[in-house]
Amino acid sequence: MEHSHGIDTEKLRAWWSHRQWLDRPHTGASAAEVLAATGWARSVGGAAPYLGLFARAGLGRAAVDAAVAGLEVHELPSARGCTYVLPAADFALGLAVGAAAPAGELATAAKHLGVGRDEVEQLCLAIERALSGSGPLDPTTIREAVGDAVRSLGEAGRKRGLSTTLPLALGLLQSRGRIRRVPVNGRLDQQRYGYVGWDQPVAGDAVDFARRYFSWAGPATLGHFRWFSGFSAATARRAVAEAGTAPLTPGSDLLMLPELAAEFHEFEAPAEPHYTLLAGIDGIHLLHRDLPRLLDPADAARPLPAGRAGRTFGGEADPQTHLVLDRGRIVGLWEYDTERAEIVHQCFVPPDDALREAVARTEAFVRDDLGDARGFSLDSPKSRAPKVAALRQAAAAGRRSGQRSG
């Protein structure tokens, strides 16, 4: 089967999986080592960072939480202004590439809500004073501490999702490395935070980021990089050129760092399956955000579990459930049923012992370490129930059909 770029699809998928450390467990690697090698982990108050680090290096929650507490890794606003879990070596770069987002929010507030830059800078100073020498303070306590320095933006602000000037100042201070937010209970799969003072340099540019990105995600197109970085077309094009990327094959829009090209051409897709259970927003998907490249066409045409009529899996920008992968191909979908404390999964391939073992291993991790595997902060067992029921039904239908054909 050939990819539209004229390169064997199975080889491409297996290579992406290999570069993502999903072809075998890298036991003994630290959370920071995994993130440096495979890319920043998107965090939206769900289980994605834990599931990704467990799949790649067998890391339990205690080890990850200890790395967060020790500032070996940290959740920071970075690419596109979105929060990712980064290794310490990338803190400066992550803040630099994410800095445009809070600056843009301030410009919008100035235009539509009459918020002046001086006003926000004064608030920034007041927040830094409030946080000096204290433990983590939550936003309510910060607001009380800074008093009149924070201003209500009234009904006009509420309509724009900005009830006061406080989030503008907190966003700017985070992007400058002056403060950081810490999870109140030390866990990444929730969204209650306090803020502490910080003194983190911000450094790096688009070219540095392009080199890092293509080491995690190459081969990738300029469009893939543009999406992940949030850079303008001109900035992305310049960064990709100056990073030294080259077409994978003559005329291909898939680009790669030259130092990886020889390794790619010698690489052979493994003959034996290796299954991993990951979040729907894991880097194997989100670095490119090009779902069809990980799907066989027959699987792309499958209906969404509990989705509206006519919606197919391959027609979505992002998976609506967690994923089962084998050598870079999505071979199944799963969710966690908290009532029965079990993973419910629908597989696109006949189950074997290796798949059953991967499900059992992840199920034990979710049950014993996490308690749940939320996709994002507002995901709950109740909101997930229709998907769980649909997956259970699909799995039962698959078993019946397997018995008939057997």
Boundaries of every domain in the chain: 9-89+204-266, 100-175, 275-405
pTM: 0.95
Higher pLDDT residue, 63 or 303?
Answer: 63
Spatial CA neighbour of 52 closest among 14, 18, 20: 20
The reported pLDDT for the residue numbered 121 is 97
Geometric angle at alpha carbon 239, from 235 and 241, rounded to 5°: 120
Cα–Cα distance, 72 to 52 (Å, whole number): 17
pLDDT-derived band at 358 (thresholds 50, 70, 90) equals very high
Is the bond leading into 219 cis (omega within 30 degrees of zero)?
Answer: yes
Contacts of 137 (CB under 8 A, 6+ apart): 130, 131, 145, 194, 195, 196
pLDDT tens-digit profile of 376-396?
Answer: 988 999 999 999 999 999 888
Cα–Cα distance, 255 to 309 (Å, whole number): 37
pLDDT tens-digit profile of 304-355?
Answer: 888 888 899 999 999 999 999 999 999 999 999 999 999 999 999 999 999 9
The reported pLDDT for the residue numbered 4 is 47
Neighbours of 262 (CB within 10 A): 9
Instruction: Identify whether the C-beta of residue 111 lies closer than 8 Å to the C-beta of residue 181.
Output: no
pLDDT tens-digit profile of 26-80?
Answer: 999 999 999 999 999 999 999 999 999 999 999 999 999 999 999 999 999 999 9
